[in-house]
Structure 1
C-alpha cells in the first residue's frame, strides 16, 4: 500500500485517471472547494471517499503534512525501459531520458521528476538498489508529476545505458569536475542525462559509460548545487537547444 497525501498531488492523480487509488480519506470538517473537486473526481472514477478524524490521516501519512486529505493506493507501478523511450513529448522531435544514479533523498527525487516532466522528458530511469523509490513523499514533492511521466526501475543501470546507446542515445553525465560547460553541446538527437547521487556523484562505472561529461559554471564560493537544482538547469538547457520552448507547448 502507498499513500498519496496533499491536495495537489491527489488531484493530479485523479485527473490522470486515478489508477491504483482504492479509496480517499478526508479529515472531518474539510469541505472547501479543493476538497469538493477531489470528491467529484473520485465519484466520477468510482473511488469511495471516507470521512475520518484527522488523527487517522496523521497515522496513515506518517504525520507528514497531508492537508486533510489523502488517497490510499496500490504500490507505484513502474514501467519498462521501452515504455520510457516511447513516451516522447508530442511537441519535441528528439528523445530525452533522465537517468538517476543513486538519488537517496525522496525530496530530491520528487523535484527531479517534476523538472523532467516540466521540460518534456520521455521518462526517468532509476536503479533498483541503493536509491529512493517512488513513495507518497516523492509523489507529493513532484506535485503529482510522478503520475504523468513513466518511470522505469532497472536491476543494472550500466546495462540500461548500454541499451540506450544501441537505440541511438548519446549519454551526458553531470559532473561538477567536468571541463565542458552545460551550454557547449548542441544536444541534437536522442539524449540521456545522468545525474549522480547526493554525496558521491556519478559512480566510476557509470561515469565511464557516459559519452560526455558536463558541468554548470558558477561564480559563487560554493562549488556545487543541490542535485535537483542542477538537474532542472541542465534539463532546461537540453530542451532549449534541441527543442525550443514556448508558452504554447
Structure 2
C-alpha cells in the first residue's frame, strides 16, 4: 500500500487479516467489547502480533481518521498484473472491467471498490500516474472490498484499451450526450471508463470509446459524483445479467 502501509477500522482490518496481509495489529488499550475479543482471536489464528496502544497514537498513525480502535500494519498492496487480469476476464462469459481515468479522490476509489464487489465486476484498472492508488483511506472506505476485487495498475491506458479491444471487449465511456443507460446493450465483454472527478474522460482516451453512455437525469444538477455514476452503471450491467 502507499503511504503508511496500514488499514484501519473494524471491517477493513478484519478483511485484511482474513486475506493474510496483516503484519502487526494495534488495538486501543482502553477498548472493550465483542469486537476486541473477535479481533484478538482472529489475530491469534493468523499469527499476527498485537500491540495495545493509546488512542492518541492511533490517531497519529491514521492522521486523525475514524479508526474505531483498530489499526493494522499490512504488507504492500499486491496489484494484479494486467495480463493476468485480462486472461482471467476472457475466461468469463460476460466480464465487466472498470477503467478509472485519473480519479484522484481516495474516497471515490474506495466506494467504487465496494460497489464493484457487490456487482461481480471482474476487475478494476487504474493508471500509475496522476491518479490515486490503494491507500489506507481507500481500504477503509471500501470496507474490505479492496481484498476481493482485483486491481491492475498500468503505465499507459491507451495501450491497455487497445489490448482490450484486440481481446474482443467493447469500450464504453460516460458522457452527457450518449446512449441512455436504460437502453444500453450490456451483453458480451464490457470495459467501462469512468472519468476524472472534474474533467471527465481525457481526450486521448475518448478516441478508444466505442459508445458513450448517459445516465438519464431530471434535476437541476446535470452531473453526478464519479463513484455514484460508476455505481449506477455497474448495477445496470449487474441487473441486466440477473
- In structure 1, the partner of 2:20 is 18
TM-score, length of structure 2 as denominator length: 0.94
Unaligned runs of 5+ in 1: 245-249
- In structure 2, the partner of 1:7 is 10
Matches within 5 A, 1:1-249: 1-15=4-18, 17-19=19-21, 21-87=22-88, 93-175=93-175, 177-241=176-240, 243-244=241-242
TM-score, length of structure 1 as denominator length: 0.92
Q: Spell out structure 1 runs of 4+ moving beyond 2 A.
A: 82-88
The residue matched to 2:140 in structure 1 has which SS?
helix
Count of aligned pairs:
239
Unaligned runs of 5+ in 2: none
Residue 235 of structure 1: how far off its partner (Å): 0.5
- What is the CA–CA distance in structure 1 between the aligned matches of 2:123 and 2:114, rounded to whole Å? 11
Residue 13 of structure 1: how far off its partner (Å): 1.5
Indicate conservation of the 8 Å contact 1:22/1:71, yes or no.
yes
Indicate conservation of the 8 Å contact 2:98/2:125, yes or no.
yes
Residue 76 of structure 1: how far off its partner (Å): 1.3
| CA distances 1:103-158 after superposition (whole Å, capped 9, x unpaired) | 01000111111111111001100000110110010001011101111100000011
Indicate conservation of the 8 Å contact 1:85/1:122, yes or no.
no
Distance 1:94 1:48, change over 3 A: same
CA RMSD in angstroms, aligned pairs only: 1.6
